[in-house]
Chains A and B, each alone.
Chain A
């Protein structure tokens, strides 16, 4: 029984001192080698993604007709953004419901590309509708219209949202 006791004590020490000991039954070299190969394939797939992005942009959104609409939150805004709807020339082109993660990403200063599409050169109507709820306030719906002037190059538009306002920034 005493031998068993000693075994127990040693067992406790081993458990305490090394959490990762069990994983070493598969050799560390094997793990490392495989990890490096996974990193390589990630790199390859990222390369494919970059080329595909370029191909997609060239094929689907040529620069002379391209329009991209971005949504951001005004600095320090804490209201709960539920959804955003975008209409271009009276036609709804994007509608997005926000998850908690997405809202948090916007609050941290991230910018969402809510729509990428094609329009002719010239003036276009843009309507932005926002549904949200300010801290301790009631649900609100805010709609605002803007004019977008499409030129020869790609058109980039930023819509900055706050609880009280929608701001249009022509980039």
Chain B
């Protein structure tokens, strides 16, 4: 039974698939872009958008975006974010992102691809005029990989705007497009019919109904074409034509129930009730929840009645009545289960994400509604979109709940850091200030030495390079001279000579050793530079660590408070939207089940009349048999 669901879903979404077509660049330069792709390739659209948004924001916030690794992928990233948003069903944001690409300075092919995507968004969101406006902006070269899809989309947009002649012209040109096999022919048939070209339209529907292909998509469009054409012929009472067309529908196809029912009626209308019984007898053995099967449960006894087998007809009406009763009870219980919230709870189960057909299997859960009655509804675009929205909201709810817990953890971390650092930092800062002033002093000294050495390259000053011992000796000589002068007596010349000699030796040593000393001083300065560099690195490391210590617990209060407020606000909004979206899903499902129950009640009445009439006729026939000799 789930084939029906799958096929319907395929048909509805196939030609307008919004799956993100982003692929990874050949050479990935930006790993964070790669991470966003990693999320997207797993269908984790929220994280993909969140990560790529953050990357793009950081990229554009840079002073020199050209030096950022994302710069190499920026066009692709801009496209990708639109794709991801589209896949996450954020059409408005995706539209804005793609419009930004269109209005940016991009190549013609890139622009046309962006226009294609934008037009597709508008078309999917039921905005055919905007879609038309967008698609008409394509100019020049279209990328070959989207050439056919663009044409097909343009045709669909024309059809949605009632411009069937133009749509038909485009679709005619697409008849050879392999990727659109069946779809282009079927749509051409429909466009021609809507354009009043009945004969041509039927020819193309007939053509679409004859295509060969074994994949699910081709089979589905082929069967749909045959069913549409068959129904048209049935309304016009072209019964032979109906038989030919509907008999082409594959027996295992999800559309085969309707085809079998229609095929039977084509025979019945011609009074060929034995032949009508062939498809109908096959049909009544199928899943009872199907509307065509239910119709057939009345059609079969009706045919037997026409063949004057009234007793069998009466028995079969009775069986139908019994089954209808069971189904009506089942539907009543299902509606009750929906109203009690079991349906929504089942829809939000984790299994849904693991198995695409889980919705079909919901019926196996206790207290959940009979989902076989809901298959067509659940495969419809509106229900699917509403369901996805509901599941997205549920995902958001869980995220917001987790984030609130994260904020609690962040606050605890901050408190622990504050408790650790705050008492220690004043002492550390005091010690650092002392070391800092010492460092500054030493650095000033070093700078002075450097300046002096540089000056000495121009004006040599050997006295600057006198050793400590030489300076002491020089001082002692000066003191001796002062003492001798103070005594004011005439100093013996021998002493004066000795003092002069000493000064001469000192001078000699300082001046003759100057070059060596000067080289030595430069070497020492170089060694000192290395030490100073190490000191500066340590200083910078300390400053960073010191800043990091403060930053690890300060300045978060306002951000966290704001986040809490936003999360709270978002949670309230998500809760409210979930309730509304859930109610909408419940209403859709309950309405569908009610409609089916009403239909079954009508059939039940018909079955009752049919049964009574058949019994009457059977009794009358028996009486006549007894009367006649």
Q: Hey, which bits of chain A sit against chain B, CB under 8 A? A: 1, 4-5, 8-13, 15-17, 19-20, 22-26, 28, 30-32, 34-39, 41-56, 58-60, 62, 64-65, 68, 70, 72, 75, 101-102, 104-106, 108-113, 121, 152, 156, 158, 171
Contact = CB atoms under 8 A, between A and B. Distances in A.
Nearest to B296: A8
A13 B235 contact: yes
A26 B587 contact: yes
- Main secondary structure on chain B at its contact with chain A? helix
Interface stretch (B90-98, B176-184, B501-509, B520-528): B90-98
Q: Which of A11, A46, A102 has the most CB of B within 10 A?
A: A46
B31 A16 contact: no
Nearest to B413: A59
Contact of B50 (A53, A58, A70, A171): A53
Contact of A31 (B8, B386, B410, B559): B386
A109 B25 contact: yes
Contacts of B541: 121
A63 B292 CA distance: 66
Contacts of A31: 382, 385-386, 584
B133 interface: no
Interface string B298-318: 010010000000000000000
Q: Shortest 10 CB-CB distances between A and B: which pairs?
A: A109-B24, A111-B34, A110-B38, A105-B41, A23-B382, A20-B380, A49-B50, A25-B591, A13-B231, A110-B37
Contact of B396 (A11, A42, A62, A102): A42
B397 to A, nearest CB: 10
Q: Which of A42, A105, A111 has the most CB of B within 10 A?
A: A42
Contacts of A104: 41-42
B614 to A, nearest CB: 12
A101 B44 CA distance: 11
Interface stretch (B258-266, B322-330, B355-363, B439-447): B258-266
- Main secondary structure on chain A at its contact with chain B? helix
Nearest to B417: A59
Given A12-B292, A106-B38, 20 more contacts: A17-B231, A26-B382, A28-B382, A34-B580, A37-B577, A39-B90, A41-B393, A49-B46, A51-B559, A51-B563, A55-B559, A59-B410, A62-B552, A64-B548, A72-B28, A104-B41, A108-B37, A110-B41, A111-B31, A113-B35
Contacts of A58: 551
Contacts of B377: 22-23
A47 B552 CA distance: 23
Given A54-B54, A109-B24, A110-B37, A38 B577 contact: yes
Given A32-B126, A50-B57, A24 B563 contact: no
Interface of B: 8, 11-12, 23-26, 28, 31, 34-35, 37-43, 46, 49-51, 53-54, 57, 69, 88-93, 126, 224, 227-228, 231-232, 234-235, 258, 261-262, 265, 268-269, 291-292, 295, 299, 302, 376-377, 379-383, 385-386, 389, 392-393, 396, 399-400, 403, 406, 410, 413-414, 541, 544-545, 548, 551-552, 556, 559-560, 563, 566-567, 570, 573-574, 577, 580-581, 584, 587-588, 591-592, 595, 606
Contact of A102 (B23, B34, B42, B51): B42
Contacts of A35: 89, 385-386, 389
Contact of B406 (A26, A52, A105, A109): A52
A38 B258 contact: no
A43 B93 contact: yes
B42 to A, nearest CB: 5
A19 B563 contact: no
